[in-house]
Amino acid sequence: MATDSMVNPPATGQLTRYRPSNAEIAGKVLLNAVLAFWAVLVIFPMVWLLYTSFKSDQEIFFSPWTLPATPQWDNFRRGWVDARIGEFFLNSFIVVLPSLAGILFLSSMTAYVLARFPFPGNRVLFYTFLAGMLFPTFLALIPLFFLVRNLGMSSTYHGLILVYIAYSLPFSVFFLTGFFKTLPSELHEAGIIDGANQYQVFFLIMLPLAQPGLVSIGIFNFLGMWNQYLLPLVLMTDAKRYLLTQGLAYMLHQQYYRNDWSALFAAVTMIMVPTLIVYVIFQNQIQKGITVGALKG
């Protein structure tokens, strides 16, 4: 990172003036040992998970340390098919992708209006959306369960999609309103003068300009929805439609009766490895996207 050297105050200038003492060297070694230790603490459980998922149940039980004698590829088949990880993946995609498209679409339209168009009630509306961030989902959980049920949307994809969109609105609207406010209004005026209507100005000029904001809020919402557990747990009670998080917890709890640990390890590996790959490729955007909430707040 370019900024590293900037925030690297004392090192270079002082080294020329004196030799580091033994205590300083010991301190450095200790410091690096601590850093390495935490890295091992993060990485090792995952590496262990990865190689264990190729082991047989026998090996898993009697030698937790060792590498698999022969890789048991069948673990992955059983995890994908018998433990139904494949289905859970599909269900998660069916819910999360439309939810993501919906929240980006609705929150950008709402934020655009709130940021650029003065009208009576504009501020009240903005703060009403903001208020949604104050309350924990727990508080709404039980009434929401009955509401969704009464609307005939229990255990339906579209029911959960609507709920996901609704609960993502407060933060997304808040974030994007701030973002649209920073865009220059001259572009808007120029568009109108050139004969574009308001819709064209929004979709052809403003939305492309808001792209960095949409990427951040998109990543933030995608991870939030993909990793969501509480809402599907209560609203997707039909085991055929379990999302990935639910399916995973369900499998773990089932395991105490079934004892197919190797398939379970393989299933968790199949969930973790794609996440890891996507993270390593996009880690800059992802770190920005996830921390976006706290930095603004």
Partner 1 sequence: MYRNKYRLIIPFLAPSILLYVVFVLYPYVNAMYISLTSWRGLARAPQFVGLQNYQNMLNDGNFWNALGNNAFYIAVLPVFKLSLALFFAFVLTQGVPLSKFYRVTYFFPQVMSMVAIGVLWSFVYHPTIGILQAVLKAIGISNPPVWLGNPDAVLPALAGVSIWASVGFYMVLFIAAMESIPITYYEAAMLDGATRWHMFWNITLPMIWGTLQTALIFIMIGATDMFAITQTMTEGGPNRSSEVLSTYLYQEAFISSRFGYGTAIAVALFLITLFIAVVLARLLNRENLEY
Name which of residues 69 to 98 contact partner 1 (CB under 8 A). Answer: none
Other C-beta atoms closer than 10 Å to the C-beta of 294 total: 7
Token readout for 246 is 């639910």
Other C-beta atoms closer than 10 Å to the C-beta of 153 total: 17
Cα–Cα distance measured from residue 240 to residue 157, given in angstroms and rounded to the nearest whole number? 11
Given the rule CB under 8 A, which of 15-23, 82-90, 204-212, 261-269 is the region that contacts partner 1? 261-269
Q: Which 262-281 residues touch partner 1, going by CB under 8 A?
A: 264-265, 268, 271-272, 275-276, 278-280
Q: Mask: binding to partner 1, 136-175, rule CB under 8 A, as x and -? A: x-xxxxxxxxxx--------------xx-xxx-xx--x--
Q: Find how far residue 145's CA is from the centre of its chain.
A: 24
Q: Which 190-219 residues touch partner 1, going by CB under 8 A?
A: 192, 198-199, 202
Is 4 or 73 the residue whose CB approaches partner 1 more closely? 4
Token readout for 224 is 């939030």
* CB 119, min distance to partner 1, A: 6
* CB 194, min distance to partner 1, A: 12
What is the DSSP secondary structure assignment for residue 20, as one 8-state letter? P
Is 81 or 131 the residue whose CB approaches partner 1 more closely? 131
Cα–Cα distance measured from residue 128 to residue 110, given in angstroms and rounded to the nearest whole number? 13
* CB 216, min distance to partner 1, A: 13
Among 26, 230, 239, 277, binds partner 1 (CB under 8 A): 230
* CB 140, min distance to partner 1, A: 4
Is 94 or 162 the residue whose CB approaches partner 1 more closely? 162
Among 26, 30, 46, 281, binds partner 1 (CB under 8 A): 46
Reported residue count of the chain is 297
Q: Mask: binding to partner 1, 1-20, rule CB under 8 A, as x and -? A: x-xxxxxxxxx-x-------
Q: Which residues contact 180 (CB under 8 A, 6 or more apart)?
A: 111, 112, 115, 116, 206, 210, 213
First to last CA, the chain: 25
Q: Which 98-137 residues touch partner 1, going by CB under 8 A?
A: 106-107, 109-110, 112-113, 117, 119, 125, 128-129, 132, 134-136
Other C-beta atoms closer than 10 Å to the C-beta of 24 total: 11
Cα–Cα distance measured from residue 140 to residue 142, given in angstroms and rounded to the nearest whole number? 6
